């Protein structure tokens, strides 16, 4: 990693390359990574995704798999904007991610909003997460766990190119 880049841990829609490249066109996938001490959770309803968005919740026994990206520092403001940092939807966390036995310091995003009653993602958002998980070659058991997440059944249109709302 150079001085002009940072490592980013994408654990939901940002595992998918075409999604990350919307705000970071020159992002390079470094591989898959495992974050211990957290679990994948869904909490705040997104109008854009038409269901609950993914977040990291502290859990001493938890493990979250995702994609590790090397991203130019020049793209950080755009990534923060896309993730809703300025509007207070997400905050940046610095986490240690196990990438094939090497622990890397990565940035990740955690939702700051209170948990909604309906914490289910839309079928479309879930499908983007699953496509990214497969593209990242996450472990079979983890992909099966992602497949088992109950969605909210929303069948309307979703414009996934917009920033968070």
List pLDDT tens digits, range 133-143. Answer: 999 999 999 99
Is 125 assigned to a binding site?
Answer: yes
Positive or negative CA dihedral for 112, 118, 119, 125?
negative
Angstrom distance (rounded) from CA 87 to CA 11: 21
Residue 9 is assigned to a ligand binding site: yes
Q: Is 11 annotated as a binding residue?
A: yes
- Choosing from 83, 131, 135, 157, which is the catalytic residue? 83
Cα dihedral across residues 121, 41, 48, 132: positive or negative: negative
> What are 102-116's pLDDT values in tens digits?
999 999 999 998 877
Per-residue pLDDT, averaged over 135-164, amounts to 87
Question: Which residue's entry shows tokens 């968070």?
Answer: 164
- Residue 60 maps to a domain: yes
Q: Is residue 83 flagged as an active site residue? A: yes
Residue 149, domain member (yes or no): no
Residue 67 lies in a domain: yes
Is the residue at 152 inside a domain? no
Q: Is 133 helix (H, G, I), strand (E, B) or coil?
A: helix
| Number of domains the chain contains | 1
90 is in an annotated binding site: no
What global pTM score does this model have?
Answer: 0.92
pLDDT (tens digit, 9 = 90+) per residue, 24-43?
Answer: 999 999 999 999 999 999 99
Backbone angles phi, psi at 17, to 5 degrees: -55, -45
* Nearest CA-CA partner of 12 in 44, 41, 47: 41
* Residue 50 structural domain: 5-141
CATH number at residue 105: 3.10.490.10
What is the C-alpha separation between 45 and 35, in angstroms, rounded?
24
């Amino acid at each position: 990693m150079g001085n002009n880049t940072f490592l980013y841990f994408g654990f939901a829609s940002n595992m998918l390359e075409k999604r990350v490249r919307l705000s970071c066109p020159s992002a390079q996938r470094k591989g898959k990574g495992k974050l211990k001490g957290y679990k994948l959770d869904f909490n705040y309803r997104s109008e854009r995704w038409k269901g609950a968005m993914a977040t990291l919740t502290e859990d001493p026994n938890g493990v979250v798999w995702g994609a590790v990206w090397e991203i130019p520092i020049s793209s950080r403001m755009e990534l923060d904007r896309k993730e809703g940092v300025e509007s207070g939807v997400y905050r940046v966390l610095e986490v240690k991610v196990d990438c094939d036995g090497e622990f890397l310091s990565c940035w990740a995003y955690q939702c700051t909003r209170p948990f909604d009653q309906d914490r289910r993602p839309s079928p479309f958002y879930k499908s983007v997460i699953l496509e990214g998980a497969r593209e990242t070659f996450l472990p079979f058991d983890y992909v099966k766990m992602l497949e088992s997440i109950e969605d909210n059944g929303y069948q309307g249109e979703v414009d996934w190119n917009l920033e968070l709302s």
